[in-house]
Amino acid sequence: TLNPKPCSLGYEYEALEPHFDAETMKLHHLRHHAAYLTTLNNALSALRGAEETKHLAKMGVDKLLQNLDSVPEPYKTQVRNGGGGFVNHALFWSILAPNGTKLSADSGLEKQIEKEFGSFDTFVQTFKDQAVKVFGSGWAWLSVAKESGALVISKTANQDTPAMETALIPILGLDVWEHAYYLKYQNKRADYIDAFFNIVNWEEVSRRYEEALKKKDEL
Amino acid sequence: YNHALFFSILTTPPAEPTGPSGPLAQAIIASFGSFDKMKTAFDKAAATRFGSGWAWLGADVDGKLHISSTPNQDNPLMDGIAGVAMIPFLGLDVWEHAYYLNYQNRRAEYIAAFWNVVNWPKVSEYYEEYAAKGKPVVMDLATEAPTQSKAQLKRGGSASLGWIGQI
């Protein structure tokens, strides 16, 4: 089969305690993330099954998310929601780690953060403000602008992603759908956002930053 | 407004199952064919609302009943909301906060459970006194933040879940 497969987290469900609880991690991975993948794969299978849409199924989900207008309904909505959900959560798990990892002081990312925000703390505060302001379901993001290498903090609704724009490459995302925090934090989203910053895998975010810079000359 | 309406159309499950009253029951049959068909359409709207939002049963300007869903805290009374312009008189919150503690991701179970706690006499009153007359249902919106439910105030007890005090 040519469809994307479920991925493992890379750490145990309990490994992000006490910041992210094990039960939420299990539900989040095995129910929510898995359901997005099923929706995406059903759409891809359907697209593959018709002559006029076969080429869309070969594009790969990342490219497809940048070309949603070429996808006929109902598959367009399924790809946007399921495909977006699938890639967003895959990125999310990859930028988390038990107790987090450090952002090296001489990394390109640390230097760029200092350059654009003045300090790492100011960056964190700006990101937290964005994440708390997402109304309804959605995500907060740190992305790299391909052309300039600049860092962009943004938010999206539902399972939309900055990756839908060819100009942006997300390197860190925070899920603020209520399913991401309700069991442990209930409505206290700010506490959940604070907890997130204890478990960010900055080494991975930094690696994604360097990868994004290499894509500058890609179309 | 949405939550005020929502809480007012819920009640402890009655000993005998109830249903919509005469005029509302007739309107449901006229618009959907049967109560079950209305329920199926409503359940679908509630299940397929992606992300946060609400499902609604309402009456249009000609008195015909419709079902729709809206994102976030939108409401069919708002101007320019896509879909049918109608006066909602029954709503179901499908934000995850409405069901996550008890149902987690199983929204369909929550939707099924909702029908056990609908206050049909209230919904029927809303239809007859407001929606069928082309008037939005008037909610008595308190200016103070909600603290305890009226039932809890009557019992004189404090909220049973410790964390409520942190809201």
pLDDT of residue A55: 95
Instruction: Report chain A residues whose CB lies below 8 A from the CB of B72.
Output: 135-136
Count CB atoms within 10 A of the CB of residue A168.
19
A120-124, A170-174, B14-18, B73-77, range with the lowest pLDDT: B14-18
CA distance A121 to chain B (A): 27
CB-CB under 8 Å, B167 with A136: no
pLDDT of residue B14: 86
pLDDT of residue A194: 98
Within 47-66 of B, beta carbons closer than 8 Å to A belong to 50-53
Q: Is the pLDDT of residue A101 over 60?
A: yes
Count CB atoms within 10 A of the CB of residue B36.
10
pLDDT of residue B15: 85
In angstroms, how far apart are the furthest CA atoms of chain B?
48
Pair B55, B49: CB distance under 8 Å: yes
Tens digit of pLDDT for each residue in A2-22? 688 888 999 999 999 999 999
Per-residue pLDDT band at B18 (split at 50, 70, 90): confident
Interface residues of A toward B, Cβ cutoff 8 Å, are 27, 31-32, 35, 77, 81, 135-138, 157-159, 177-179, 182-183, 186-188
CA distance B147 to chain A (A): 15
DSSP letters for B78-107: STT-SS---EEEEEEE-SGGGTHHHHTT-H
pLDDT of residue B81: 79
Alpha helices in A49-197 (DSSP H): 54-57, 61-66, 75-78, 84-94, 108-117, 120-133, 182-185, 189-196
Instruction: Report chain A residues whose CB lies below 8 A from the CB of B104.
Output: 27, 31, 179, 183
Tens digit of pLDDT for each residue in A108-119? 999 999 999 999
End-to-end CA distance of chain A: 28
Tens digit of pLDDT for each residue in A152-201? 999 999 999 999 999 999 999 999 999 999 999 999 999 999 999 999 99
Q: Is the pLDDT of residue B154 over 70?
A: no
Instruction: Report chain A residues whose CB lies below 8 A from the CB of B167.
Output: 187
pTM tops 0.95:
no
Instruction: Report chain A residues whose CB lies below 8 A from the CB of B52.
Output: 136-137, 178
Q: Is the pLDDT of residue B159 over 50?
A: no
pLDDT of residue A52: 95
Kindly identify which residue of chain B lies nearest to residue A35, measuring between CA atoms. B105
Mean pLDDT, residues A116-138 taken together:
98
Select from A158, A187, A188 the Cβ nearest to the Cβ of B51.
A158
Tens digit of pLDDT for each residue in B93-140? 999 999 999 999 999 999 999 999 999 999 999 999 999 999 999 998
Tens digit of pLDDT for each residue in A11-61? 999 999 999 999 999 999 999 999 999 999 999 999 999 999 999 999 999
Select from A31, A35, A136 the Cβ nearest to the Cβ of B52.
A136
Select from B51, B101, B104 the Cβ nearest to the Cβ of A136.
B51
CB-CB under 8 Å, B105 with A178: no
pLDDT of residue A219: 59
pLDDT of residue A3: 82
Per-residue pLDDT band at B17 (split at 50, 70, 90): confident
pLDDT of residue B165: 33
Q: Is the pLDDT of residue B161 over 70?
A: no
Select from B72, B96, B166 the Cβ nearest to the Cβ of A182.
B96
Mean pLDDT, residues B47-75 taken together:
97
CA distance A176 to chain B (A): 11
pLDDT of residue B16: 85
Cis peptide before A4 (omega within 30 of 0): no
Q: Is the pLDDT of residue B162 over 50?
A: no
* Single-letter code of the amino acid located at A164: M
- Residue B97 contacts A, CB cutoff 8 Å: yes
